[in-house]
Amino acid sequence: MSRLSRWWVQPDQYDWTTTFLRQRGLLRSARMIMAVVAASSALVPLSTLLSEQHPSVSATLMGGIAAVFTVGLTIVWLTRWPTRRQSQAILVMGVSIIGGWSLVQPSATVAALACTATAVTGAHIAFLHRPKLMLYNATVAVVITTTAALRLARETDTAVAAAAFWIILFLNLSVPPAIWGMSQAMGVYARRSEQDPLTGLLNRRAFADAVSTLLAYPPPTDTHLAVVMVDLDDFKRINDTHGHPVGDDALRAVADLLRRHTPADAAVCRAGGEEFLVALTCLTCDVQPLAERFCAAVAELSPQVTASVGTASAELRLLRGHDIGFLDELIAIADMAMYAAKHRGGNQAHHGATF
């Protein structure tokens, strides 16, 4: 697959960007910035409507639509962060209104200036959405820019029209890809900062963030949050006997095993050393079967590797409205249960408590 083809099928980055901003407390600031942009945009059609002496019916209609849309958009950003579908609909409507408003302007100069607004919508799309929506924005930008430039050539001269055409086109074809590149770089940075470098699992900070997200949007049928602590038995002996490279291979193998044996939305973390944490929502408080599967699967990796597993669980309804401190309590209980399993000889699971 070519680089262009890979770019074309890039997934929507709306969810991870929203999560990234929410986890770092930046979502409200981002909303306020977007509200300021929308409010500033509202001033353009409003001032144009008020300043024109005898506007045409089409110009008045498009100006009214643009004014209502931008004022409404300002209210949306002030009150909430839209869903992915809402954001896509807003952008499609916004790009269409910009195109229509530019085409009906009686002044070619104002029509050309309006074309620069698609650079803003293009940047928004590049930051949050898929390349297909960027293509729609770019197509509208090229059409209205070409139309405005042809009008300028008739009303002024060819040199002015050509300069305006290339400046506006440069903005529309350079700003969105630049924003897309920065968004991708931010995504790579965010993922790497959340990963354990050896196993690729979440680190402890990212684990807590993932559990918060999991609790905010649990499957409707699940009733409990379960925390599972997995600790490899006598792991120091493996490093001392076979060397750290073999130990690292064992840790990576256990990490892959935990990924395979947990649901896709589970949070899996390397807690440190040879300890691993798993958090998942489930239909029941009884996670003993899952813990026992972990034990059996680890033992199958190598006769030299076994694990002690401790679990704890709590009803989701008891966790709503509480801060993340409850997670530390569940981890502490699962940790004590894991040590109880270890003191009993290891290679077994023990349940701590259910709330």
Give per-residue pLDDT as tens, 239-278.
777 788 888 888 888 888 888 888 888 888 988 888 898 8
Q: Is the pLDDT of residue 32 over 90?
A: yes
Helix residue ranges, H only, the chain? 3-8, 14-23, 27-51, 57-79, 84-103, 108-114, 117-128, 131-155, 158-193, 204-216, 235-242, 244-260, 288-301, 316-319, 325-343
Contact present, 232 and 254 (Cβ < 8 Å): yes
- pLDDT cut 90: percent of the chain above it: 25
Beta-carbon count within 10 A of 145 CB: 26
Round to whole Å and give the CA distance between 330 and 228: 9
What's the rounded Cα separation, in Å, for the pair 46 and 170? 27
Torsion over CA: 110, 115, 120, 124 (sign): positive
Closest CA to 266 of 199, 190, 214: 214
Are 349 and 293 in contact by the 8 Å Cβ rule? The answer is no
Copy the structure tokens of residue 199.
Answer: 């196993």
Q: Check residue 242 and give its pLDDT.
A: 77
> Would residue 31 be called left, alpha or beta, if left means φ above 0 and alpha means ψ between -120 and 50 degrees?
alpha
User: pLDDT band for position 226 (50/70/90)?
Assistant: confident
If you average pLDDT over residues 177-187, what whole number do you get?
80
CB atoms within 10 A of CB 122: 28
Q: CA–CA separation, 270 vs 278, rounded Å?
A: 9
User: For the whole prediction, is pTM greater than 0.95?
Assistant: no
Per-residue pLDDT tens for 288-312? 888 888 888 888 877 778 888 888 8
| CA count, 13 A, side-chain hemisphere, 171 | 17
Six token digits for residue 96 = 């269409």
Of 342, 274, 286, the C-alpha closest to 311 is 286
| Chain center to CA of 156 | 47
| Listed range (14-28, 96-110, 168-182) with the worst mean pLDDT | 14-28
Nearest to 45 by CA among 62, 31, 57, 32: 62
Other C-beta atoms closer than 10 Å to the C-beta of 260 total 8
Domains of the chain (ranges, CATH numbers): 3-193 (no CATH), 204-354 (3.30.70.270)
User: pLDDT tier at 193 (50, 70, 90 boundaries)?
Assistant: low
Q: Would you state the pLDDT for residue 308? A: 86
Half-sphere exposure of 181 (CA within 13 A, CB side): 5
8 falls in which pLDDT band (50, 70, 90)? low
Distance CA 291, CA 351 (A): 9
Model pLDDT, residue 72: 93
288/155 Cα distance (integer angstroms): 79
The amino acid sitting at 189 is: Y
> pLDDT band at 122, cuts 50/70/90?
very high
pLDDT above 80: residue 70 = yes
DSSP code of residue 283: S
d(CA 322, CA 212): 10
